[in-house]
């Protein structure tokens, strides 16, 4: 039987590609690039599985007429680039990379919070530009403390909980809002208290956004929400672009109705709203919250494990570890199922 074929849409760790190549024929891209729907359709047309990045959309149009593809693994926990119902209708298993990145993203949320509150990026820019030529005023570069303040978390899934647990070391009071309250033992472990969204916005000194991007969450933080926040507050977004109205945020930062913000994600990235680029009280990074050596490797390995398992190969054959629509697997025909998409 000829080897199954897997397309990898972006350069990946060589050892992970080698692991894939032990089982399948690998067609791996060697340069990063953004692909149109037509290009995606062509790339997916003659493969059994694929590993894609967050900027690659998989929807009904891309899958139309494809009878071979069985699995697409996303290199990320968020999967708003997938049209899940369309993938399910096409009998294509979708997988993501939950859990392996929780702690690294939580670390990075804290890095951003500290950087924005204590003006680290702006101070470094100033220093590198050669402005530190004499003794500074004692009241220059004043920032906002974290210790003893109130931290708010909007979206209290596993990453939000990891962020909350770290607040203990800063002696912070933690409030959160989520559609559903966490069970009591989890709230106790996180030392976090559930409040309504508007109360959260009004009370917090630092707000971290960790909610998934859905149509309902688009501009969950826009002008009306920003107006509720304290002028001394700091906003951190490690979730998704589009959850914040970037234009409204830029206005609030410019008018000093919000002290500072730190953003790892943007509406329409890789483009960044030009007004944000012009602001010294905005810390900006290129969607790298999960980008530690260990975590990106773990994500790549998990994506590879998902693809191989869905194709009935490797030590997890038939049992992809993190499927998003496992119901499609019951529609593949039986043990042969992993060989033959019905």
Query: CB of residue 97 vs ligand GLV: minimum separation in angstroms?
Result: 6
* Structural contact between residues 27 and 5, judged by C-beta atoms closer than 8 angstroms: yes
To the nearest 10°, the Cα dihedral for 160, 163, 165, 167?
Answer: -130
What is the x/- site pattern for ligand GLV, positions 77-116, by CB under 6 A? Answer: xx----------------------x---------------
How many residues bind ligand GLV, per CB under 6 A? 6
What is the x/- site pattern for ligand GLV, positions 231-270, by CB under 6 A? Answer: ----------------------------------------
Q: Would you count residue 295 as binding ligand GLV (CB under 6 A)? A: no
- In this structure, what DSSP letter does residue 2 have? P
Between 44 and 77, whose beta carbon lies closer to ligand GLV? 77
Q: Would you count residue 290 as binding ligand GLV (CB under 6 A)? A: yes
Query: CB of residue 303 vs ligand GLV: minimum separation in angstroms?
Result: 11
Between 157 and 318, whose beta carbon lies closer to ligand GLV? 157
Q: Is 219 a catalytic residue?
A: no
Using CB under 6 A, which of the segments 26-34, 76-84, 181-189, 333-341 binds ligand GLV? 76-84
Between 16 and 77, whose beta carbon lies closer to ligand GLV? 77
Closest CA to 325 of 335, 340, 310, 314: 310
Q: Is 287 a catalytic residue?
A: yes
Between 86 and 298, whose beta carbon lies closer to ligand GLV? 298
Between 176 and 213, whose beta carbon lies closer to ligand GLV? 213
Query: Strand, coil or helix: what is 260?
Result: strand
Find the catalytic residue in 57, 269, 297, 301: 269
- In this structure, what DSSP letter does residue 206 have? E
Burial class (CB in 10 A: 0-12, 13-18, 19+), 188: exposed
Q: Would you count residue 157 as binding ligand GLV (CB under 6 A)? A: no
Query: CB of residue 264 vs ligand GLV: minimum separation in angstroms?
Result: 8
Phi-psi region of 25 (alpha: psi -120 to 50; beta: other; left: phi over 0): beta
Phi-psi region of 313 (alpha: psi -120 to 50; beta: other; left: phi over 0): beta
Find the catalytic residue in 35, 273, 287, 296: 287
Using CB under 6 A, which of the segments 38-46, 71-79, 202-210, 326-334 binds ligand GLV? 71-79
Q: Is 137 a catalytic residue?
A: no
Q: Are strands 206-209 and 192-194 parallel, antiparallel or unpaired?
A: unpaired
Find the catalytic residue in 23, 118, 240, 296: 240
Query: CB of residue 76 vs ligand GLV: minimum separation in angstroms?
Result: 3
Q: Where are the alpha helices (DSSP H) in the chain?
A: 14-21, 37-45, 60-63, 84-89, 102-117, 120-128, 158-166, 184-190, 197-203, 223-228, 246-254, 274-277, 293-310
DSSP secondary structure of 150-204: EEEEES-SHHHHHHHHHGGGGT-EEEEE-SSPPPHHHHHHHTEEE--HHHHHHH-
Among 76, 143, 152, 320, binds ligand GLV (CB under 6 A): 76
Q: Cα separations (Å) of 167 from 163, 195, 340?
A: 7, 17, 50
Query: CB of residue 32 vs ligand GLV: minimum separation in angstroms?
Result: 16
Between 104 and 281, whose beta carbon lies closer to ligand GLV? 104
What is the Cα–Cα distance from 113 to 110, expressed in whole angstroms? 5
Between 4 and 296, whose beta carbon lies closer to ligand GLV? 296
- The residues assigned a catalytic role are 240, 269, 287
Interface positions with ligand GLV (CB under 6 A): 54, 76-78, 101, 290
């Amino acid at each position: 039987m000829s080897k199954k074929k897997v397309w990898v849409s972006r350069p990946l760790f060589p050892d992970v590609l080698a692991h894939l190549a032990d089982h399948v024929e690998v067609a791996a891209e060697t340069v990063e690039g953004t692909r149109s729907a037509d290009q995606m359709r062509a790339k997916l047309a003659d493969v059994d599985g694929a590993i894609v990045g967050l900027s690659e959309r998989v929807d009904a149009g891309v899958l139309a007429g494809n009878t071979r593809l069985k699995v697409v693994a996303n290199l990320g926990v968020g999967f708003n680039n997938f049209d899940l119902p369309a993938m399910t209708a096409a009998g294509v298993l979708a997988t993501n990379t939950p859990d392996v990145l929780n702690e690294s993203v939580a670390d990075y949320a804290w890095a951003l919070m500290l950087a924005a509150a204590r003006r680290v990026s702006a101070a470094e820019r100033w220093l590198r530009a050669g402005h530190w030529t004499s003794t500074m005023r004692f009241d220059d570069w004043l920032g906002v403390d974290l210790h003893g303040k109130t931290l708010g978390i909007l979206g209290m899934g596993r990453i939000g909980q990891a962020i909350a647990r770290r607040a203990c070391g800063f002696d912070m009071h933690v409030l959160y809002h989520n559609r559903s309250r966490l069970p009591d033992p989890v709230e106790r472990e996180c030392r976090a208290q559930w409040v309504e969204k508007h109360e959260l916005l009004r009370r917090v000194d630092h707000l971290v956004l960790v909610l998934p991007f859905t149509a309902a969450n688009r501009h969950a933080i826009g002008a009306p929400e920003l107006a509720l926040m304290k002028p001394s507050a700091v906003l951190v977004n490690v979730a998704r672009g589009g959850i914040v109205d970037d234009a409204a945020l830029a206005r609030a930062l410019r008018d000093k109705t919000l002290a500072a913000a730190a953003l790892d994600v943007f509406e329409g990235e890789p483009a960044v709203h030009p007004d944000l680029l012009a602001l010294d009280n905005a810390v900006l990074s290129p969607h790298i919250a999960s980008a530690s050596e260990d975590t990106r490797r773990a994500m790549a390995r998990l994506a590879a494990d998902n693809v191989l398992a869905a194709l009935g190969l490797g030590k997890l054959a038939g049992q992809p570890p993190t499927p998003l629509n496992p119901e499609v697997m019951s529609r593949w025909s039986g043990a042969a199922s992993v060989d033959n998409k019905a």
